[in-house]
Amino acid sequence: MLEGLGNIVVKEVKELIRDPKILIGMIIVPAILFPFMGLAIRFATQTAAESIRAMPVGVIDQDKGAYAQALFDVFSGSNLTMIKLEATNVEQIARDVQGSNMTAVVVIPEGFSPNITNDKQAKVYVYGVFRGAGVAETAGPSAVVSVVNLFSKSLALSKVGNNTAILDPAYPSQQSIVKGKAVNVSPSVLSTLVMMQYIGLPVGITVLIIFSMQIAATSVASEKEEKTLETMLTMPVGRFTILLGKLSGSVIAAAVGALAMVIGLNYYMSSLTFAIPTQASVDLANIGLAPTLPAYLVLGASLFVSLLSALALAIAVSSLTEDVRSAQAVVGYFYFITFIPMIFLMYTDISVMPLALRLVLLAIPYTHPMLAARAVFTGDYTTAVLGIIYVTAFTLVTLYLAARIFTTEKILTMKLRFRRQKPKREE
């Protein structure tokens, strides 16, 4: 029934992957761009850390007492380069510092040590030196404030005989309840971990769908533009087989593009997180939040039918245009629809949305793999399966429409054009 399908799929993949626009724009660039961005961020972070160390902090000790010396010692033990300055008033400090490369100045005022000795609050002035060079300038003063806070906390502890119960008489121990079980993990840690998957998945799905739509539209429209379609339609091969061949070729080319992007993005993310210390290592599988094999299967099925629906839509629409540019332009209007579920579902649960918005989102097929991703996390397979049924029905209807266009002469005679017509010259 589908004789010749393999032949068409192989040809489609060759044609698409060898197309410089697809090869460069959708495979090479994402594979290189994201690691490059990651490297740039890594380089910028390292440079910033080194420059903070290189940029000295001035200290003016007007107190000359034991606690002022102790604070200075804590400063010296940190990564910061401290320079002792002599100044009597703020104006003089401002004049001396503006022309230097100092990022901050700490003034330990007179009475600092006696106040601490007498259990009174002792003030330390921290001046950030503003030169208009951007956010990096806040790093110096922030580092100084952190050191002062550390000094303050250790002083407080020593005053109460290292008894933390006096410092923090009551403190919340955060726990979570997951799938009816109490778990010793803070809700914020848990939500951060799960959120990474909530955000990553919708973005990944949206990008994959957009890639595929663009590739499918190119695949059909280039046949028209290059005048190969007429010949193809007179070959002894079913029109539905041609349609399926184009769908399959587009899925494979899009998957290669998505893989390149995932590899690139993975490197980018690892570059971003390299400087962040791991605060809590939580095994999601232990608390029942990691997807199981059936969950992956359901999620995969949901993603697959959504992808097919997007491809069928792209093929149906692009078969009515007359060239690649028009096809990509008309398919571009549908990208907006793929963004809607991503934007709404990234931060909000569908159950708390107003009914009208919920219905609009549910009508969009690309919502369902995102809902399925959440549903299978919590073991709610019914939602995921219902979504798959809806998207399958949507896909079949779209495929039927695409097949109708392919089997009639409309595929040759319809010429939707999305380019500005040249104005006619007046004779």
Return residues touching another protein (CB under 8 A): 4, 7, 10-11, 14-15, 18-19, 226-228, 230-231, 233-238, 409, 412-413
Nearest distance from C-beta of residue 331 to another protein, angstroms: 21
Give the contacts of 239 (CB within 8 A, at least 6 positions apart): 233, 403, 406, 407
Nearest-approach distance from CB 405 to another protein, in angstroms: 14
When the beta carbons of 18 and 181 are compared against another protein, the nearer one is 18
The one-letter code for the residue type at 369 is P
Smallest separation (angstroms) from another protein to the CB of 251: 18
Q: Single out the residue of 107, 90, 101, 96 nearest to residue 137, CA to CA.
A: 101
Q: In sequence order, what are the beta bridge partners of 181?
A: 178
Closest distance of CB 215 from another protein, Å: 13
- Residue closer to another protein by CB (options 196, 412) is 412
Tokens coding 372: 């399925």
Select 132 or 236, whichever has its Cβ closest to another protein: 236
Work out how close the CB of 8 gets to another protein at its nearest, in angstroms, rounded to a whole number. Answer: 8
Nearer to another protein, 66 or 235 (CB): 235
Cβ neighbours of residue 293 under 8 Å, at least 6 residues apart? Answer: none
Using the CB atoms, write b or e for 333-370: b if 16+ within 10 Å: ebeebbebbbebbbeeebeeeeeeeeeebbebbbbbbb
CB atoms within 10 A of CB 51: 14
User: Radius of gyration (Cα) for the chain, nearest Å?
Assistant: 31
CB of 135 to another protein, least distance (A): 47
Tell me if 225 sits within 8 A of 325, measured CB to CB.
no
Nearer to another protein, 248 or 398 (CB): 248
Task: Give, in order, the Cα–Cα distances in Å from 60 to each of 70, 74, 75, 127.
Answer: 14, 15, 12, 11
Nearer to another protein by Cβ, of 179 and 410: the residue is: 410
Question: 22 or 55, CB closer to another protein?
Answer: 22
Minimum Å distance from CB 413 to another protein? Answer: 7
Residue with tokens 């910033």: 48
Dihedral sign from CA coordinates of 28, 34, 37, 43: negative
Q: Which is nearer to another protein, 5 or 183 (CB)?
A: 5
Q: How far is the CB of 222 from another protein (least distance, A)?
A: 9
Query: How many angstroms separate the CA atoms of 395 and 182, rounded?
Result: 41
Q: What ranges make up the beta strands (E) of 158-242?
A: 176-178, 181-183
